[in-house]
Structure 1
Amino acid sequence: MKIGIVTDSLASLSLDEVIALSAELGIECLEFSIGNWSDSPHLDATGLLRSSVERRELKARMDDHGLIISAFNANGNSLHPTDGQRQDAVVRQAIALSRHFEVPQVNLMSGLPGGGPGDHCPNWVTAAWPPETAHMLDYQWNDVALPYWRDLAEHARAEGITQLCLEMHGNQLVYNLPSFLRLHGEIGDIVGLNLDPSHLLWMGADPIEIVKRYARHIYHVHAKDTAINPARIGLTSRLDTQPMGDLCQRGWSYVTLGYGQDSRWWKAFCYWLQAGGYQKGVLSIEHEDLNLSRREGVVRSVALLKECMPTEAPDYELPGA
């Protein structure tokens, strides 16, 4: 396995500073966010697509420090009922950049439509009742999401992209394993997981169990942690809409690696990733901890991953095998 980083984690640094710090810390892979939910602090996607010179310069700067690009990230909502077309354009920029840089995958979200025609805001259905929820889901899946994803997958294949990697994320149509398997079943193996345990943890799922059972669908991994506050969840539930900055009042918060799940948990997570065939994969640190500085959060996250993740392919053979 290799340590990577979502470059937005170090948004306060320049691109050259990110590259230098990453090399210094032993980070091997950069995941560039290029728009939508990101301000794209390090890359001008439009400029890179227009200029082969700029693309060569970026590659040279990476090569000089022994770094590679793990993915271009276009996280956002390309199924948004009023802003989806603009956000879809960013997804297609990520696909085009991936082709130019010979990166076979793009990281993105599934998107979330409105609950019906004429809606102006996305609508996340989180329960099977009352009855109108079934009608909303039918519209979201069959009228909006599946036609969009069939077209996007066809476009990506034509561009030489073989992996569209989704996060199972709250406020998205794909947020848990059943919703992922539905989309994968309809679209095919081009749709895989960018497995981020932090979202699954706050929703109450078990990332390690998903790794054990469905490792074949994991194409990329985000290393991000969530701290659970059981006393507050007893009052708020896991569906907590209090401001993210109210750390002491919330039932859960995104934190630096090791401040939510301990090193024993992260060792198990990495161990079963390798057992499932992810030994050459990337663990891409995503720092969203409001209580630690970006640099400190990244430094501590790197240290934990170095302690927990396998770095060599297994080679032990049973006697007489």
Structure 2
Amino acid sequence: MKIGLVTDGFGGMSLEKCLDKAAELGIQCVEFGMGGWSGAPHVDIGEMLSSASSRDRLLGMLRERGLEISALNCSGNQLHPGEIGANDTKLAYDTLELARLLDVNRVVMMSGLPGGPGDANPNWITSSWPLEAMEILEWQWTQRVLPWWQKFTPAAEKNGIRICIEQHGRQIIYNTESFFRLRDAVGATVGINFDPSHLIWMGGDPVSAIRALGDCIYHAHGKDSRIEPLARVNGLLDTKHVMPVRGRYWNFVSLGHGSPVRAWLDVVRALREVGYNDVISIENEDYSLSPEEAVATSVRTLQFCISEQQKDPA
């Protein structure tokens, strides 16, 4: 297995310094944010699409440091009922084109979330009651979700690109069951970017999910969530901002500061059991540590787990 990095984790650094730091830490792959919910701190997609010399320069910088691109990330909400949806749809198609030009065969993104009939904003249905919720959810799937994905998936397939959907709260694809509804409709071009952190704060078990997803896992993120003591009082639904971390019911944390290291060893072993032997890309959103410390901690945790798994594959 390889250790990767979503470079947004070093968003305050220049591209050169980010890549230098990644190589220094023993990271082997990078994943660049293209826009949407990423500030795209290191790659300008417009420049990259229009300039072969810019693409060559980027690839040369990676080669000099022994790095490769594991995926391009265009996570946003292409199903938003407003202008955001149109902008993020364009970003998704542009990312497919850039991936083709860079010879990258994976694009990480989220499924998007539409509104309901007449809504100006996305509407995440999380309960079958009141009963109109079920009608809204079915309308979302039939009128917005499936039509968009049935058009987008062939564009990815044509270019040999696998779409890696990250299951995330407040997205139409947020768990294993919702993923398989989409997969069954659009085919195997669409798989999973497995990120345990979201499943954890929703109360799920990463190892069980990995076994259920099997060979549908095309890419993985190294990110964790820590359930805080206040969750015992208030549950896991938390509408407070991610900062400050104090007072929240759960927080995103670097590896080793949420689930025990043993749990991450179990994740690595489960991934290998289902045939995934590829990159785990560290996505740092730990706001209690400096980016350098948080990423370094995650790297050390993954290095240990990968090493232990290799010693005892069973």
Question: What is the TM-score when the length of structure 1 is the normalising length?
Answer: 0.94
Q: CA deviation at 1:256?
A: 1.1
Cα RMSD of the aligned pairs, angstroms, is 1.6
Q: Does 1:289 align with 2:286?
A: yes
Question: Which of 257, 266, 269 is the aligned partner of 1:268?
Answer: 266
Aligned counterparts of 1:129 and 1:246: Cα–Cα separation in 2: 33
**Corresponding residue of 1:170:** 169
The alignment status of 1:86 with 2:84, answered yes or no, reads: no
Paired AA for residue 283 in structure 1: I
Using a 3 Å threshold, how does the CA distance of structure 1 residues 311 and 103 change in structure 2: closer, same or farther? farther
Q: Does 1:258 align with 2:256?
A: yes
3-state SS of paired residue (1:154): helix
What does residue range 148-227 of structure 1 map to in structure 2 within 5 Å? 148-161=148-161, 163-227=162-226
Paired residue type of 2:36: N
Match of 1:114 in 2: 115
The one-character-per-residue Cα deviations of 1:169-207 (angstroms, maximum 9, x if unpaired) are 001000011100100111111110000000000001111
| Maintained 8 Å contact 2:254/2:294 | yes
CA shift, 1:242, in A, is 1.8
1:36-185 counterparts in 2 under 5 A? Answer: 36-82=36-82, 83-116=84-117, 118-161=118-161, 163-185=162-184
Q: Tell me how many residue pairs correspond in the alignment.
A: 313
**C-alpha offsets along residues 207-229 of structure 1, whole Å, 9 cap, x if unaligned?**
11111232211000000010001
Aligned to 1:21: 21
2:111–2:172 Cα contact (<8 Å) kept:
yes
C-alpha contact (below 8 Å) 1:227/1:261 kept by paired residues: yes
Answer yes or no: is the 8 Å Cα contact 1:270–1:310 preserved in 2: no
How far residue 247 of structure 1 moved from its aligned partner, in angstroms, is 2.1
- 1:46-104 deviations in whole A, cap 9, x for unaligned? 10000111111111110111110000000110000002010111111211111011111
| C-alpha separation in 2, matches of 1:315 and 1:10 | 33
The letter for the 1-side match of 2:111 is S
**Per-residue deviation, residues 226-280 of structure 1 (Å, max 9, x unmatched):** 0001x3112221111122224231110001111001110011110111121112x
Give the percent of matched residue pairs that are identical in Structure 1 and Structure 2. Answer: 41
| 8 Å contact kept, 1:232–1:250 | yes
Letter in 2 for 1:218: I
Name stretches of at least 5 consecutive residues in structure 1 with no aligned partner: none
Q: Which amino acid aligns with 1:22?
A: A
Distance 1:216 1:314 in 2: 23
Q: What is the CA deviation profile of residues 117-170 of structure 1, one whole-angstrom value per residue up to 9, with x for unaligned ones?
A: x21110000001111011111111000000000000011122331x11011100
Contact preservation (8 Å) 2:269, 2:313: no
Whole-angstrom distance in 1 between the partners of 2:62 and 2:4? 13
Q: What is the letter of the counterpart of residue 225 of structure 2?
A: T
Contact 2:192 2:217 in 1 (8 A): yes
Alignment of 1:222-241 (within 5 A): 222-229=221-228, 231-241=229-239
Runs of 4+ in 1 over 6 A off after TM superposition: 311-317
> Residue type matched to 2:190 in 1?
V
Distance in structure 2 (CA, Å) of the matches to 1:311 and 1:51: 44
Could you say what secondary structure the match of 1:63 adopts? helix
Contact 1:274-1:310 within 8 A present in 2 as well: no
**Structure 1: distance between partners of 2:172 and 2:48:** 31
The whole-number CA distance in structure 2 between the counterparts of 1:130 and 1:302 is: 45
Q: Deviations over 1:3-43 (max 9, x none)?
A: 00000000011100111111111100000001000110101
Label 1:50 to 1:313 Cα distance change in 2 as closer, same or farther (>3 A). farther
Cα deviation, residue 311, structure 1:
8.6
Partner Cα separation in structure 2 for residue 296 and residue 93 of structure 1: 34
**How far does residue 310 in structure 1 lie from its aligned partner after superposition?**
4.4
Residue ranges of structure 2 left out of the alignment (5+ in a row):
none
Partners of 1:316 and 1:306 in 2: CA distance: 15
Cα drift, residue 313 of structure 1: 7.0
Q: Distance in 2 between matches of 1:13 and 1:315?
A: 38
Mark the CA change 1:313 to 1:152 in structure 2 (over 3 Å): closer, same or farther. farther
2-structure distance, mates of 1:308, 1:102? 30
